[in-house]
Amino acid sequence: MSGLTAKIKHEFMEMIPPTIFFFVAINIVVLIRALMTKGIGLSLPTFATIVISALILGKAVLIANMLPFINRFPEKPLIWNAAWKTLMYMVVATFIHYLERLHEYWQDTHDLGAANHQLLTETNWAHFWAIQLMLLVLIFNYCVFAELARVIGEKKLRRMFLGPMPIEPDATSGPAG
């Protein structure tokens, strides 16, 4: 049982960073969406919906990271893997965003086909793609930091951002004198 408990704890700890990141990112998206649609009567996701979406995206990142093709370019500059992972995560994020909007229309129609048709005809596609572009930037930032953590190590990256950094003597400089 302790092996199972350790595995669950490990998975949970691995899921925390992307889940927190996507929780913050989705809140930013919701805030911008609220500002873009102020006064036109669109409903916004609830706090519970945001938490569930962040958990789904956090788990999706973990599942995607287990796929053999996700780390396609380990020997190339970091931008290759960051861009590739951004593309993979964006596919998932776009699908989830579309499903979220489809659910809104389904609540009105209770017919999936009618909801999809209504979504396709009534959606303000400029707003949809604006949010997708914002998600692209946020996901790319996540991927860049994840790649940096992979290469230099999570602990070192955490120390670099949260400090304090240990003072290391410069090996090339001799004693002052």
Over residues 14-40, the pLDDT tens digits come to 888 888 888 888 888 788 777 777 766
Decide: 102 and 115 in contact? Cβ < 8 Å.
Answer: yes
Does residue 50 sit in helix, strand or coil?
helix
Per-residue pLDDT at 117 exceeds 90: yes
Per-residue pLDDT at 90 exceeds 80: yes
Cα–Cα distance for residue pair 88/107, rounded to 1 Å: 29
